[in-house]
Amino acid sequence: MKTKLIALAAALGICTFAGAKDLHRLQQEFVDLQFGMFIHFNIPTFVDHDWPDPDTDAALFNPAKLDCSQWARAAKTAGMTYGCLTTKHHSGFCIWDTKTTDYAVTRTPFRRDVVREYVDAFRREGLQVMLYYSILDTHHRLRPGYITRAHVDMVKAQITELLTGYGPVAALVIDGWDAPWSRISYTDIPFDEIYRLVKRLQPDCLVMDLNAAKYPAEALFYTDIKSYEQNAGQHIEREANRLPALSCLPLNGSWFWKTSFPAEAVKDPAALVRDHIVPLNRAYCNFILNVAPNRDGLIDDNALAALRETGRLRTPDATRTPLPHGPAPLVSPNIAARQPVNASWSDDMMIMDFATDDNFRTSWRSNPEVARPWLEIDFPRARHFNAVAIYDTRQCIRAYRLLVERDGEWHTLLTSTDGSKVKIHRFDRTFGTRVRIVIDEATLPPAIAEFCIYDEATDDAEDGV
């Protein structure tokens, strides 16, 4: 009975971690925040490069006039409702009192815990607090080809410090996973372990992967909130979006402060309101504007003026429709990725291997002459699993069956008429050596970009983190 209840909760998008709010409620609350301040402030601030030398002298970090209350007041004048600070960026420098490394602010002559001052200042102004954290860490050599279990333990220890020492955190915004520039996979630093650690420490803390935009826009893969970095060419489908989302953009020309910023024009407040905040909020999307403090630890006058004008021009939107309900995020490893696959007759070169290549931009497509196409994953040995996701590239599959083979016999897992582009099914844990989809009805020759299979942990106590 417990298994069935947990499976039902997962299917409905209900978080099963003790003491947590319903995940959909948390997502709605996030969307309702509408507008926030991203604060890129770290060792890159002091070297004029967003990606500095990994061995940059930590003593350079010395914001002599640091005033996080100025940041918070500026956010209030813009009509923002929260902040999000870069606790650690890709170069690995920690701006809190960490016990995990000497490459940290409290081991410098400055010595002050910037995260503490930030959270206290923003809460005094009635603003919510979020934290940014980078998985990629070039100083500690946490990068492709060099990742060890000690790196995983360091990440867990640092996240534990951030989520146990600074009060309630509305969201942990994680960067550096599964991006072309980082190449750190969700298994190198295991996403499901980190996700469940966060939920165990703070059940109401949303987990956001900043690189989740590479996955289909119709479902949440490896994130509670879909994110779109506009500078990286990621743009939400405003009319079609039905997911809780975040879109980010810097007020200046780059994320971290540069010596040229005080004399350069910032983005036009009227355009920010008209082209970003208003339309994004209507698309279930929260907009976060990056404001980069300077080397004194203060926001420049031109940025302050733009924030005031943004607040003057903007009226918070109170007429939005409620966020639609959707399946819970998929956070476990896809055990079908790069596994052997067979299928009925394919169309030309669009062969079955494309359905397990872990790339949603390629697809297996059935030959038009096949009346009842099928595709199956062949595991080298029997595997346990309890969830399947199918990316129906052409959104043309209308009726299908999922089958599993055990001991040479096929068993029907389920039948469905789900017409969604991303078809997610969760069920009681089962096992088998082959998993097959049989397509009984389709309006076009079907194409499947990815046939994903998951063995999801059904309770945070089960993952052994």
Question: What pLDDT, in 10s, does the model give residues 149-187?
Answer: 999 999 999 999 999 999 999 999 999 998 888 899 999
Bridge partners of 206? 171
If one compares 2 and 165, the residue with the highest pLDDT of the two is 165
Note whether 129 and 149 are within 8 A (CB): no
Report the range of poorest mean pLDDT among 2-6, 30-34, 98-102, 209-213.
2-6
Q: CA 357, 363, 368 angle in degrees (round to 5)?
A: 140
Confidence category of residue 212, pLDDT binned at 50, 70, 90: confident
Q: What would the pLDDT profile of 299-354 be if each residue is shown by its tens digit?
A: 999 999 999 999 999 998 887 789 999 999 999 999 999 999 999 999 999 999 99
Percent of the chain past pLDDT 90, that is, above it, reads 89
Closest CA to 157 of 169, 168, 146, 165: 165
Residue 430 and residue 437: Cα distance in Å, rounded?
16
In this structure, are strands 35-39 and 82-88 parallel, antiparallel, or unpaired? parallel
pLDDT digits (tens, 9 = 90+) for 422-442: 999 999 999 999 999 999 999
Through-space distance between the first and last CA atoms of the chain, rounded to whole angstroms: 25
